[in-house]
Amino acid sequence: MPSLTRDEAVARADLLTVSLMEVELDLDRGAQTFGSVTRIHLTASGDGQTFVDVKPETLHRATIDGADLDVTSLREGRLPLAVTAGEHVVEVEATMAYSHDGEGLHRATDPADGEDYVFSHLFLDAAPAVFACIDQPDVKAPYAVSVKAPPEWHVIGNGSGTIADGGVWHLAQTRPLSTYFVALCAGPYVSVTDEHDGIRLGLWARRSLRQQLQEHAPEMLEVTRRSFDYFHSIFGIRYPFDDYDQVFVPEFNAGAMENPGCVVVRDAYLFRGAVGRDELLTRANTISHEMAHMWFGDLVSPQWWDDLWLNESFAEYMAHRCLVEATEYTEAWVDSTMSRKSWGYGAERSPSTHPVAGSPAPDAKSALANFDGISYAKGAAVIRQLIEFIGDDAFLEGIRDYLTEHSFGNGTLAGFLAAMSRASGQDLAAWSAAWLETSGVDTIAVDRAAGTVTRRAPADHPAQRPHALDIATYSGGVESSRTTLTLETDSAPVAGVDLTAPLVLPNAGDRTWATPLLDEQSLAALRTELPAMTDAQARAVIWVGLRDGAALGQVDPRLLVDLGEAALVTETNDSIFSRAGMHLTNRVIRVLLPEEEQDAARARMTAVGEQVLATAEPGSSLALHAARLVARTTDDVEGRLVPWAHGRDLPVGLEGDADFRWILIGQLTRRGILTGDEVDEALAQDRTMTGQLGALTARAAIPTEAGKAAAWADLTTNRERSNHELVAIAAGFWGPADRSLVEPYVERYFADIPPMSAWLGEDALARVATMAYPSRFVSERTLELSRATLARTDIDQGVRRAIVDAQSELEEALASRRAFPAARP
């Protein structure tokens, strides 16, 4: 289907204003389709030809002011519409299809009890698959929604709901919303409710997750209350919508979606087994992030998709700030460095890198291709630099100005900069051009001999970015000096730091967006300094800097393995231990190291896990992560994998943990020790959605020709699979020790994955394409096949972006292996 262009959106917004959307949905028609009736109350500024967006299974009728429209004129989701100046009502009746790819109105069946659950996800252009509309972010309108549902179902939406005779739910009319924020969740959901500061709070989940919901509700509600208090205190505008519901739904594509008053969250956050503190922090960050969107994104929405950063960068920054200042998760910026900024730096290294803002998006799908770690993590880092530049008081004053001026409307980069300039009294044009409107990440290095600090922008993305940063030095793991400065030129003298110290660390506090390059003396000192360092933020900066260095072919991946062995055994921060451990096992060892060195390096990580498991407090978060590290890496089948899988000799806190058991089952299946029948037996003991996904991953890992053929066919031809099921299959496919079993599928990936766009949504397929990419096969042949695929003109944009990014990582791996080859025997 054609993607709405910016020119089309501008013309339509000039012609049409929508004053009210009336939407009637009938969800009581079975599991495949639902009824949709929409009345669009609009005003035309003049006579003109335009169109309504609608993507039905069947379009039954359409009228304007009671006169029939030609329903046979519908083409590719666009129903032509001729209007005259003045007010009109367009009514559209259609039968719509439920989706199974996480877009539109998604319907999922819970295998635990056979109950069905429905939720909407209308970002970026999926709203017309639920109701007819003028689908663009700058056409906002109030919504009056009614829903007919089965009698045992509960309906949750943007407005509080009441049920009338006939099983019809009426949701309170909303304030003006962009189409992609309309929310609907329906099914036999269960809830925990509360009230805070006059706002009714609701947490909702599948009936089979009632126990987990009740167990986790107190902590989640506490984060919710504290976030409300904090944002009210700094924004100067009260929460501007109705009740505040957070609905935990199955098979959601993202972490969460910020629908006003009805936040949709992936229900994997209702942890059913042992959980690490970093995982609780991630969930708390998601809760706070989505709440920040009630102001940034919902109250003020982007005028066009290339200003999505005004949503995500601010929510990313505000959530971390809120956690640090208003909750117990005071280490949130350390977690941001390890999880979020590393994601953003990876996006910056890719050929698909783009500016935070001002990147022209000629159509909606082009904007979606630029929706990544740059939009989130880099944008948040740039906001921290803006605060350094204009001061926090001016920043908060500018926010209040911006939100007040554009309330229930739309914002732009120009409007944001104008508000910040008024508050600070500074012209921000040059600052914006350097930080928001250019791509690339600078490197920051200290020259000990010259006593200077230098910055270097990427050659293909030149820029003059001023960096407010700090430089710290360490000896014996203890900070020996620190200085702060603003680097406005390519080189500047460094004063106030001990340049004779073993370790000199630029950007030690992670205040800016840059890759710290360590000098040779500092790199050599890491083996002794990093294990002894008490500054968690500095440790995180080192790990992420080394990650970048290894990806760029500047740091030997063996150094990262050495440091993992030396430093992770003394690591006390959950985010650092878990994220560094995952990066070492999944990327450094599995991809960057030569194949003949991988087994030995993996065994060293097993030893790290065993040592931490033996010394950490039993049942602690670090002990949990250590046990997971052992389970992922050990070759001790009889001493570890088999007894743990059978519930024997488990670490404290992992007794009965079904999720941990699926890790073990996957490892045993990958080795050919468990068969498909035994996977079925395990699934019979865990008939949940999570168990189903674990079984799909384990079954896809079966190391036989027949097993691989069946898994590949399931992945690439089974149109009944949900988005999450496909990702689970892809996750288990490439792992056998005998690489020859899957090598034929390297070529088949490039032939079989792109055509799946015929039945799978773009966002869902992009996730499948990323997970299924044959990254384990680091060869020129894989690169040749990848490049040939990207040369085709018939590739879906989401798949293209997934392959571009995966290919970039493949090229990094090839460069690393050339720079640091295996030693000759």
DSSP line for 658-670:
HHHHHHHHHHHHH
Write the single-letter amino acid at 568.
Answer: L
Q: Which residue has the tokens 């049920």?
A: 163
Are 189 and 205 a contacting pair, CB within 8 Å?
yes
Region of 44 (left: φ > 0; alpha: ψ -120 to 50; beta: rest) is: beta
Token pair belonging to 608: 């790290």
- Contact criterion met (CB below 8 Å) for 677 and 692: no
Give me the count of residues in the chain: 825
Half-sphere exposure of 495 (CA within 13 A, CB side): 4
Here the tokens at position 121 are: 């996800």
CB 685 within 8 A of CB 677: no
Which pair of structure tokens corresponds to residue 688? 């949940």
Cα 798 to Cα 370, 559, 765, 776, distances in angstroms? 10, 35, 7, 22
Q: Assign 3-state DSSP to the chain and report helix, strand, coil percentages, each to 5.
A: 45, 20, 30
Q: Which two tokens stand for residue 187?
A: 């099914």
Q: Which two tokens stand for residue 269?
A: 């956050």
CA distances from 583 to 11, 305, 546, 779 (A): 47, 32, 11, 21
Q: How far apart are CA 262 and CA 528, in angstroms?
A: 50
Do the beta carbons of residue 253 and residue 120 sit within 8 Å? Answer: no
- Residues paired with residue 363 on neighbouring β-strands, in sequence order: 5
Identity of the amino acid at 260: P
Helix (H) or strand (E) holding 434, with range, is helix 429-435
Residue 769 contacts residue 797 (beta carbons within 8 Å): no
Tell me which residues are annotated as active site: 290
Phi first, then psi, for residue 480 (nearest 5°) are -105, -20
- Give the residues across from 185 on adjacent strands: 119, 156
In 3D space, the residue among 134, 130, 133, 77 whose CA is nearest the CA of residue 107 turns out to be: 130
The Cα-based distances of 498 to 123, 505, 520 in angstroms read 51, 11, 16
The residues near 682 (Cβ < 8 Å, ≥ 6 apart) are 661, 662, 665, 691, 694, 695, 698
